[in-house]
Structure 1
C-alpha cells in the first residue's frame, strides 16, 4: 500500500539515556497543519488517572513555553482529543503513540480537530518511566499543533529517535515559525486540508542507508516476489489496512522461495490511513516482514519495510522505497 500520508516513525529507542549532544540550531520543521490561532482545546478521553496526569503534564509543558496554549475541555464532543489504547497488532505493533491531524477543518482550511494517542502496551513493554511517557505525549501534541519530526540526532522532543528529550527551544521556535508564517492563498489552505496519520514507532528506519541496514537486521523475513492478490479493507475515502498475498520468487531471510504468504500493511479497523494505494496483482515487490504474537506477517513499520521493483540499470535491479521513494539496489536490501 503506497501512502501519501505523512507517516512518522518516531522511534523512541530502547535506551534509558542518550549520549550528550550539542544543542540543535535549526528550528524544528513544521507540517502543513495549523489551528486558526496558536491555541486549541482538547478533551482528555483517558479513563486512567495515571495517563490523565501524563497528558496534563504534557499540556503544562507546552503552555509553559508560551508558544502554543492547550486547554482541557469537558466537552465530550470536542473534535480534538487525547486518549490511550493498549494494542499490539496491525499498525500499532511497536507504536508508542500516534497523532491524527486534520480530522476536521473550517472553511478557511484551518484544522479544527486532531486525535492524540499513547499506546500503553508498548510503553509498558519497553519500560518507559512516567517522565519518558510524558515526553511521548509532548511529542504527539507537537504533531497535532503542526510540527514534523526533527532531524535524527537532534536535541528535540520531536527527534524521531528519542524518548528522553523534553520540549526544547528548537521546538518552541518551530511552533512560533508555524504560527507567524501566513498561508498565502486559499488554494494552499485547501491543499493542506487532508487528514494525515502520524505513527511513532519504537524504532526509526528513516536514516537512508543506515535505516535500511536496520530494517535488514530487524526483519525476521525478507523476500521478493509477485503480488497475486491485494485486498483493501476500507471505507471510501479512508483506507484502513490492506492484506497482500505474495508468491515468493527469491528468499533472503525467512520464508522459502516458491511459497505463498500473506501480510498486512497500514492501519487497523479502528485507525484510518488516508490516500493509500493498494498494490496491483503482478507487481514485483521486496518486503521486510515481522510476525505478530498470533503468527501473522506484517510489514515492518508499515511502508518502511516495502520496496517496489522499478527497473534494471547497469545490471542492477532497482527498488523504490515506498515510504520515501528513495531508490536502492537489490543487494542493499538483504
Structure 2
C-alpha cells in the first residue's frame, strides 16, 4: 500500500563528503574482507560458502514518507537481514545504495546513519561499500552477505513433513492503519513494534540447519510465502487455521480479521519451515531454548505446489495471499 508523500527540506553536500561524514569510521571488521570502502570494488575472500540477498525499500511504498531516519533504517535493514536468517546463514557484511532527494535533510540522514551503524554492530555485519545518488524520493537498497556450510533452501520440503512458523505473524499488518494515520488509529505496543522493529530470526535459522528440510522468511504474508516453498518443492502445503498461533493482543478481535492478518498480512519476518515429524521433540526443545514460540501449523502432502487452507474439515485456496510489489 503506497504511503503519503513528503516535502523534502535541506542543505548541500557532495557525494564524497556525504559518505565520509556519515558512513566512514564505523566499528566492526571481518577477516574475509580484504578491501572495503574507498575503492572501485570491495575484495572478499570467503572461508565458507557465501549467500547473498538484495532488498530495496522505497519511500512511500515500503516505509511512510513521514518516517524518521532511524525508522527508515530499521525498515530497510531488518527485513533485508531476515533473508540470511531464512538460509541459516551467519551475517558477514553488507553494501548500501542510497538515493536521497534534494536538498538534503541533515537531521534525517544523521539519524539514519546512526541507527544503521547500531544495527550493523548489533548483528555483526560490516558496511563494506556502496553508492549514493540523488533522486525524487528516498530509496534504500541493501545487499546482505552471509556464510553458511549447508544453506536452508525452499525446495527441500518432503512428503508428510510438518509445517512450522515462528513467533506471532500478523501483528505488523494489524498495525498498518495506526502507522499510516497515528492520529486517527491506535494499536497495541507489540503491533507497532512488529512493524517498525521486526526481529530477524538469525539464531533460529542457524539452529534449524540439520533440523529443517526447507525454510523461508515471512515477508509478503504467511500463505504467500508458504506458496514459494510448495512450488519450489512440487508439493502442497496444508495450513490448518485451528493451529495458527495467535498473539495475546489479538484477543477480542473478529476471527475473520485475525485470520486475514495472520495468513495474508506481510512484514512479519518470522520463519516458516518444514521438518520431518521425527524432529518435533527437537524443535520443541529449540523453542524452549530460544524462548521463542515455534508452532506446528500444517503438513506437506502430494500435490502440484499449492497452499491449501484447512478450516472446519475442508480445504480451500486463498484468493488474496499477501503483499504484491507490483
TM-score (norm 1): 0.27
Looking at secondary structure, tell me which structure has more strand per residue. 1
Looking at secondary structure, tell me which structure has more helix per residue. 2
